[in-house]
Amino acid sequence: MSVLDNVDAATNLAKNNELQLLVFRVSNSLDSAYYAINVFKTREVVESKNHYLTQIPSAHPLLEGTIILRGLQIPILNLPSWLDVSLDKEDFMKSNLLICDFNGIVIGLRIMSAFRVIKKNWNEMHAPDSYRLKDDGVIMNDTRLDDGSLCLILDYEKLLAEVIPQAMVDEDNSNDSLLDVVVPDKLKYGTVLIAEDSRTAQKALIHIFKNAKLTMKLFENGKLLIDYINSIGEDAYNIPAIITDIEMPEMSGFTVIQKLKENPITKNIPIIVNSSMTGHNNKREAEVLGANGFIDKTKSQDIIPLIIQAINTNI
């Protein structure tokens, strides 16, 4: 039985501020670290040796080539190399391909082996400042396995942005959708709050807001955003909109929405979900909880018009 066969529905997990992670390793070395990825970004794990790899001329060094799987041409990214891990010929032949879906973009990550699926509460996910000291950091947060082993969650969006930049947000065209849009005063003179833990996504949003000449305030996770709102009291009435990711340490985006809607001061503030988990269940759950819009991270350049639409609808 595949380690991915038994996973709970995303919506049931969301209600309890929980997530499920697929734990894997990228090497057979005794000191090899454990890594993890949200199971709802994964499709399946296949044996590398069973799939012919077609190389792409002049491709990024981490882009090994493509395979054909179930009629799809899937780019294969060398995750061990990104982590400065070298596989010998024997391990390379024994390695597996973790097929993932980011914003509807299907890719394969070379891994050594899938370990198990674990369930965690988001408050068990930790993001120490040391992971953010350098712009080239690849670790977003971590958690502990049952035996106490450290398990690292990587910034997969950073990997995608480096290797397949065309798959990520088009920042250069982030102003095009604002040419014929009237910006409400509340947005023009207010500050949008954003909960986002990915450095790659943060940079894209900073660029978009700067180009639009709008003010925003970033928080590394949902709990910090909620703590800030609680600290400013009735001044929160002036917040024009809130943007939140779904996957964040300490507090998920779904829990952020719940807490905002439970608070009389913030219940009418438009909330936009900006996430790479674009499955139907996640969009439906966000809507049920009260979010005013959902946009995947490859289309973040359209987030300002979506905010304006939500503000105008609330008036």
Among 101-105, 293-297, 304-308, which range has the highest average pLDDT?
A: 304-308
Strand 63-69 relative to strand 34-38: parallel, antiparallel, unpaired?
unpaired
Q: Please tell me the predicted confidence (pLDDT) of residue 110.
A: 97
- Residue range 67-74: mean pLDDT, rounded: 94
Kindly compute the dihedral angle of the four CA atoms of residues 280, 283, 289, 292, in this order, to the nearest 10 degrees. -150
On the 0-12 / 13-18 / 19+ scale of CB atoms within 10 A, 63 is middle
Q: Is the pLDDT of residue 1 over 70?
A: no
Q: Is the pLDDT of residue 5 over 70?
A: no
The amino acid present at 25, given as its one-letter code, is R
All CATH 3.40.50.2300 domain ranges in the chain, comma separated: 171-314
Q: Please tell me the predicted confidence (pLDDT) of residue 199.
A: 84
Alpha-helix residue ranges (DSSP H) falling in the chain: 10-15, 79-82, 89-94, 156-163, 185-188, 199-211, 222-232, 253-262, 280-289, 303-314
What is the domain class of 10-167 according to CATH?
Answer: mainly beta
pLDDT bucket at 276, cuts 50 / 70 / 90 = confident
- Residue range 257-286: mean pLDDT, rounded: 87
pLDDT bucket at 29, cuts 50 / 70 / 90 = confident
- Phi first, then psi: what are they for 201, rounded to 5°? -70, -35
The amino acid present at 20, given as its one-letter code, is Q
Phi-psi category of 71—alpha, beta or left, where left has phi over 0 and alpha has psi -120 to 50? left
**Cβ 126 vs Cβ 13: under 8 Å:** no
d(CA 269, CA 265): 8
d(CA 240, CA 192): 6
d(CA 139, CA 130): 10
Q: Is the pLDDT of residue 41 over 90?
A: no
On the 0-12 / 13-18 / 19+ scale of CB atoms within 10 A, 224 is middle
- The fold of the 171-314 domain, in CATH, is Rossmann fold (3.40.50)
- Residue range 54-81: mean pLDDT, rounded: 94
Question: How large is the angle between the packed helices 303-314 and 199-211, nearest 10 degrees?
Answer: 70
Question: How large is the angle between the packed helices 222-232 and 253-262, nearest 10 degrees?
Answer: 20
- Residue range 123-134: mean pLDDT, rounded: 80
> Per-residue pLDDT tens for 14-24?
667 888 999 99
Higher pLDDT, 208 or 13: 208
> Per-residue pLDDT tens for 182-227?
889 999 999 999 999 888 888 889 999 999 999 999 999 999 999 9
